[in-house]
Amino acid sequence: MSVAAVHSGGIADHIHPEPQGFIRRYVFSLDHKIIGIQYLVTGFVFFMLSGLLAETIRTQLLNPNGGFVSPETYNEVYSIHGSAMVWLVVIPLLTGGFGNLVFPVQIGARDVAFPWLNMLSFWIFPVSGLMLFSSFLMGAPTAGWMEYPPVSLQGQAGTSMWAAAIFLVGVSSTMTGLNFLVTILKMRAPGMTFTRMPLFVWGQFATAPLLMIATTALAAALAALFINREFGVPFYDPTKGGSPVMWQHMFWFYSHPAVYIMILPAFGIISEVLPTFARKSIFGYKMIAFSSAAIALLGFMVWAHHMFTSGLAPFLQLPFMILTYIIGVPTGIKIFSWTATLWGGKIHYSTAMLFAIGFVALFTLGGITGIFLAAIPFDLHVHGTYFIVGHIHYVLVGGSMMGIFAGMYYWFPKMSGRLLNETLGKWHFWLFFIGFNGTFIPMHWLGMLGMPREVATYDPQFTFWNRFETFASYLMTFAILIFFVNIIWSIRYGKKAGANPWGARTLEWQVPSPPHYYNFKHVPTVYGLPYDFSQPLPYKGLEEELTDSPPAVAAGAH
Amino acid sequence: MAEQRAQPIAVDRGFWTVTLVLAVLAVASIVFWILFPISKYLPEAIITARQVDTMFRFMAASGSALYVFIVGYLIYFSIAFRAKATDPPDAIGVQIHDNPKLEFWWTLLPAIFVLLLSVISVRIWYEILLEPENGLVIQAIGHQFYFSFRYPNVNGEITDEMHLPLGEPVTLNLTSADVIHGFWVPAMRLKNDTVPGLVTTIRFTPQLAGRYEIICTQFCGVLHSQMHKQVLVIEDRASFDKWYQGWQQRNAHVSNALPAAPGQAISLQGGDAAAGKTLFAQKCTACHKLAPFDQRLVGPGLQGVLHDPAHPNLVNGKPATPENVAGILQNGFTGSLGTMPNASANGLSSQDIANLVAFLNTLKL
Ligand code: HEM
Ligand SMILES: [Cu+2]
């Protein structure tokens, strides 16, 4: 049942009929676009749940001695908040969600290489999500998203459930990575060379190997944690000869590359949105593309920068500090190139564009504090404090989530045929931007002054800024509510989008919204990069896409 | 279209004006970070704290200067190049694909900066690492949920705050009795994890007398957020010595008895309730209150543990008898609430256990 559309040279269009019936079309679908939407819907449901947990955290911190929930509950809440935001929200939205939805069309493929595997990847995801949240029923884990042993060995029964859930969602990511990698390598339309691929495809292309390789290290670490807890094999138990620091190595060997899993696709989104609304070619295409690859590679060599206080020998730590600094160079190239893209443009301020520009501003700040943290002398001060919490939210919310929002405003018309409301969108952007900065800027200062992270209570000298953060976070939550209202309203009442509401030039905009089953009536041939607005579109074979001629598979035909 | 392409894209007066303004702002932010009185907010309690602050100043200054330029240009370009109402709807920007010279420089300059940053970080880090090795050697031990200290010539663990004489180099060996904790003194800009089964070392020289917080920075269990202790840097050598000798005497009895080994028979005869009471305050109150069973801190409240009809059994399920209480003190116990350390971790001799049981037996509900 796979699609044997082989790239370059003759296209052997081996095509199956579009399945009929609700279940086969929308539930157990093999269509990458439907699977993408399934990922997005599920991811945003988990986003709402984890957002509620976030507000529980902030409400507890209104007062220095807490009091909103008990310390046990508080510890459970932030542990599930972090785990869910990473594994059930950001990673699935950016890879399974936008990846599935967009990149196969962008390379002129009819589907991903392994549609059944794709369906399986998706269906594992809500199951593992439910498992993760169900750990609340048996006493959720409390040691944060990192679950360092030995304290996680003491954790309640739900800690094992947590390990199993994350293991499973990791299996799903690994399969998605494999699927995307093969698709990009083997299924590009004729003429779609690597240096003609849109930058979003480059983002996914750099991410896929990370998903495949890094996640296996996490799987091994989680399996060992589970076995240690349930069957007493003392992998991490120092009283029986195990090594708790081994967990940290394995966890970060995954989780540092994972931060790039969470940002490279967002880089890709930004690199599509900026040129489209600046009406201008992206600046430095090759450098942006290759720097993604460089970041992905270097990302495997820096994990111990999370472990500068774990007792490693100094000569082991040194290379990790310097390699982390070096990652700043390709990251800087991207930031400079995006800024330069605006130069000489004709900029249209759609909501997607606001989020993209906001992304550059906020992510850059997170990148800069990242360099601070890589400096061992300074990290010895702020490791394990609210400074870290500030940094990770600048990169993950100011970066990844802003990228996701930009992607939603940009591609919502492609998946639904309707535009999101721009007025609501602008309220969403500005309130979110203000609330976000108000919530997370002061954290850097608190961390430097002496507020540790993962605490249910804190020193009363920090009360003012904590209250300030909490109120700002309510504003941010309100902005997100506007976003959800916008989506629900626009699905029914939004303006009709047409095939290409933004005048964008990549392939997905040259076919109807939503695209037909199997995407193209005829697989196009590609002649160049898409980004030059003064040139005709570099595609041939798209003439019939927007006409009434029959689609590749007529509905109901066999 | 042709007119569109002809739009002036050369770097014009406006650009240089903005650049000048941004340069001024960047310099202002650099000056701000150089002058910012960090030590007003957080004292620099040890010699290397100042170096860490210097490191921070350097990064904050260069980071803000860079950030001013990036955000400044973002805002400037966003305004200067916005599509205007008078533009035809299909107006496009000037199609610039790249500029190898520009890209060369914005790769090379950051690379040089990385080199500079590496040199500075390594130098400062080595100053931290190369603090003198002689001086006072102390061991700090992380426990759920407190720190304790071993000083040379003091028996057992000091569960009080940590005292240090001003100006004398300290070697602090960190380890843990249970899980990983973080040992952080913000005023010293220094931390390291306390890892069970591992000893890690930090060295420093206090340069400012005062009382500073020690804070746990690795999640270590339900009371993690309350795991604090203080370190007192004392200028007056005599009062440090007094404190030190006080602990030598106070703990003198601890060394006389080896900790009770698991399973060793303990005679509860001759338990001294008064001695037990003192010991309880030292060793037990971090986790147990003298309050009814339900009012737990980490472990249950122990008021009336031997006389509570509502709780005829101990947490290990055995009946609440003096022998079984002694068993928990001797062997420790891990249950749903966490781990109660055993006698050797707690430094309890068999006589100590007898004293504690005698004391607990006096507590009525
Ligand atoms: C140039 C860019 C970056 C640098 C140099 C950098 C550096 C660092 C360093 C050194 C730490 C460890 C600090 C410590 O634990 O003491 C850290 C923590 C972290 N970073 Fe970054 N980072 C960068 C970008 C990112 C990005 C893009 C993301 C995700 C999208 C990210 C996510 C995180 C997270 C989640 C943590 C905290 C993990 C935890 O302790 O819970 N970082 N970063
Ligand atoms: Cu990292």
Task: Please tell me the pTM assigned to this model.
Answer: 0.86
pLDDT computed for residue B259 by the predictor: 59
- The stretch A76-96 carries a mean pLDDT of 95
- Residue A237 clears pLDDT 80, i.e. is over it: yes
pLDDT computed for residue A322 by the predictor: 94
Q: Which residue of B has its CA nearest to A320?
A: B118
Residue showing tokens 């050697």: B137
Per-residue pLDDT tens digits for A425-439: 999 999 999 999 999
- Residue A508 clears pLDDT 90, i.e. is over it: yes
Per the CATH hierarchy, to which homologous superfamily does domain B136-250 belong? Cupredoxins -  blue copper proteins (2.60.40.420)
- The stretch B194-215 carries a mean pLDDT of 92
A72 contact residues in B (CB cutoff 8 A):
222
Specify the CATH architecture of the domain B273-362: Sandwich (2.60)
Question: How many angstroms separate the alpha carbon of residue A303 from the centre of ligand 2?
Answer: 6
- Residue B216 clears pLDDT 70, i.e. is over it: yes
Q: Report how far apart, in Å, the C-alpha atoms of A385 and of each of A391, A435, A444, B216, B354 are.
A: 10, 21, 9, 10, 43
User: How far, in Å, CA of A277 to CA of A503, rounded?
Assistant: 9
Query: A55, A49 in Cβ contact below 8 A?
Result: no
A311 in contact with B at a CB cutoff of 8 Å? yes
CA distance B316 to chain A (A): 16
The β-bridge relationship of strands B200-204 and B333-335 is unpaired
User: How far, in Å, CA of A356 to CA of A402, rounded?
Assistant: 7
Q: Does residue A8 lie within any of the structural domains?
A: no
- Residue A553 clears pLDDT 80, i.e. is over it: no
User: How far, in Å, CA of A150 to CA of A144, rounded?
Assistant: 13
User: How far, in Å, CA of B8 to CA of B14, rounded?
Assistant: 12
pLDDT computed for residue B2 by the predictor: 40
User: How far, in Å, CA of B212 to CA of B230, rounded?
Assistant: 6
Question: How many angstroms separate the alpha carbon of residue A255 from the centre of ligand 1?
Answer: 9
User: How far, in Å, CA of B305 to CA of B289, rounded?
Assistant: 11
Least confident range from B40-54, B222-236, B247-261: namely: B247-261
Band of residue A186 on the pLDDT scale cut at 50, 70, 90: very high
Per-residue pLDDT tens digits for B152-161: 888 778 878 8
Q: Does residue A548 lie within any of the structural domains?
A: no
- The stretch A273-296 carries a mean pLDDT of 91
CATH number, domain at A453?
1.20.210.10
- The stretch A247-267 carries a mean pLDDT of 94
Q: Does residue A6 lie within any of the structural domains?
A: no
Domain membership of residue A488 as a residue range = 31-540
- Residue B336 clears pLDDT 80, i.e. is over it: no
B103 contact residues in A (CB cutoff 8 A):
284, 287, 333, 337
Question: How many angstroms separate the alpha carbon of residue A142 from the centre of ligand 1?
Answer: 21
- Residues whose beta carbons lie less than 5 angstroms from ion ligand 2: A 256
- Residue B179 clears pLDDT 80, i.e. is over it: yes
Q: Identify which ligand lies nearest to the alpha carbon of A256.
A: 2
Band of residue B263 on the pLDDT scale cut at 50, 70, 90: low
CA distance B84 to chain A (A): 8
User: How far, in Å, CA of A292 to CA of A295, rounded?
Assistant: 5
- The stretch B62-82 carries a mean pLDDT of 94
Task: Tell me which residue has its CA closest to atom 39 in ligand 1.
Answer: A388
Q: Does residue A124 lie within any of the structural domains?
A: yes
Per-residue pLDDT tens digits for A292-334: 889 999 999 999 999 999 988 888 899 999 999 999 999 999 9
- Residue A5 clears pLDDT 50, i.e. is over it: no
Residues within 8 A of B (CB atoms), A 20-39 only = none
Per-residue pLDDT tens digits for A93-144: 999 999 999 999 999 999 999 999 999 999 999 999 999 999 999 989 999 9
pLDDT computed for residue A3 by the predictor: 41
Check whether the bond before A524 is cis (ω within 30° of 0): no
Per-residue pLDDT tens digits for A345-392: 889 999 999 999 999 999 999 999 999 999 999 999 999 999 999 999
Helix (H, G, I), strand (E, B) or coil at B211: strand
Question: How many angstroms separate the alpha carbon of residue B111 from the centre of ligand 1?
Answer: 20
pLDDT computed for residue B6 by the predictor: 41
Give yes or no for residue A326 CB within 6 A of ligand 1.
no
pLDDT computed for residue B121 by the predictor: 94
Helices A71-84, A115-134: inter-axial angle, 10-degree rounding:
170
Nearest to B47, CA basis, from B173, B149, B182, B168: B168
Q: Report how far apart, in Å, the C-alpha atoms of A80 and of each of A65, A140, A144, A388 are.
A: 22, 8, 7, 18
Which residue would you say has higher pLDDT here, B145 or B41?
A: B41
- Residue B5 clears pLDDT 50, i.e. is over it: no
A332 in contact with B at a CB cutoff of 8 Å? yes
Per-residue pLDDT tens digits for A38-70: 999 999 999 999 999 999 999 999 999 888 998
- Bin B260: left if φ > 0, else alpha if -120 < ψ < 50, else beta: beta
Provide the domain count of chain A: 1
Task: Tell me which residue has its CA closest to atom 34 in ligand 1.
Answer: A392
Task: Write the DSSP symbol of residue A502.
Answer: T
pLDDT computed for residue A365 by the predictor: 96
DSSP per position, B27-94: HHHHHHHHH--HHHHS---BHHHHHHHHHHHHHHHHHHHHHHHHHHHHHHHHHHTBPPTTS-TT----
Band of residue A13 on the pLDDT scale cut at 50, 70, 90: low
DSSP lists the bridge partners of residue B176 as: B142, B196
- The stretch B7-13 carries a mean pLDDT of 68
Task: Tell me which residue has its CA closest to atom 12 in ligand 1.
Answer: A306
Query: B145, B298 in Cβ contact below 8 A?
Result: yes
- Residue B149 clears pLDDT 60, i.e. is over it: yes
Q: Does residue A462 lie within any of the structural domains?
A: yes
Per-residue pLDDT tens digits for B302-330: 988 888 888 888 888 788 888 889 888 88
Give yes or no for residue A197 CB within 6 A of ligand 1.
no
Task: Tell me which residue has its CA closest to atom 20 in ligand 1.
Answer: A392
Question: How many angstroms separate the alpha carbon of residue B344 from the centre of ligand 1?
Answer: 40
- Residue A414 clears pLDDT 90, i.e. is over it: yes
DSSP per position, A352-371: HHHHHHHHHHHHHHHHHHHH
Per-residue pLDDT tens digits for A512-548: 989 988 888 888 999 999 998 888 899 998 888 888 8
Q: Does residue A552 lie within any of the structural domains?
A: no
pLDDT computed for residue B152 by the predictor: 84
Nearest to A273, CA basis, from A206, A199, A203, A207: A199
Q: Does residue A25 lie within any of the structural domains?
A: no
A143 in contact with B at a CB cutoff of 8 Å? yes
B189 contact residues in A (CB cutoff 8 A):
377, 380-381
Per-residue pLDDT tens digits for A63-81: 998 889 988 999 999 999 9
Band of residue B3 on the pLDDT scale cut at 50, 70, 90: very low
Domain residues of chain B, as ranges?
Answer: 13-80+98-129, 136-250, 273-362
Q: Does residue A432 lie within any of the structural domains?
A: yes
Give yes or no for residue A396 CB within 6 A of ligand 1.
yes
Q: Please tell me if the domain spanning B136-250 has the same topology as the one spanning B273-362.
A: yes
